[in-house]
Amino acid sequence: MIAGIKVSFFGFQNKYPQFVYRFTYQVVVGFDKKTMDSNAIHSYQHWNGLNRIYGAINIIKDLAHDLKAIVEFEPGIYNHNQMKAIRDEYVKLPGIQFGWVMGKKAIQV
């Protein structure tokens, strides 16, 4: 009897995989329009050191016409307070006027 319950439980467990949700963050940086234009954002190199230090996985430059870029980080590494401190480091770079932190849930199987 117990063996039958055990087999049916493990069969149920494999049939419906369980998802682990982790929180991922993005830093949206806004560039200063007095010193930058949309073409300069595509060749911006000042943030390469910070991207390596903090493990940025992707930089989205689709909003370059609005003088904004999105820096994505690995899910689950940082909490919100740490991301605020990282954002402050990005704002110190030349040509960046402001930044804010956005968070969302990421699914990892």
Give me 46's structure tokens: 């000042």
pTM of the model: 0.74
Q: How confident is the model at residue 75 (pLDDT cuts 50, 70, 90)?
A: confident
Tens digit of each residue's pLDDT (9 = 90 or more) over 21-66:
677 899 999 999 999 998 999 999 999 999 999 999 999 999 999 9
What strands, in cross-sheet order, belong to the sheet with 20-31? 56-60, 68-73, 20-31, 96-108
17-108 classified as CATH 3.30.70.1150: yes
Amino acid letter for position 21: Y
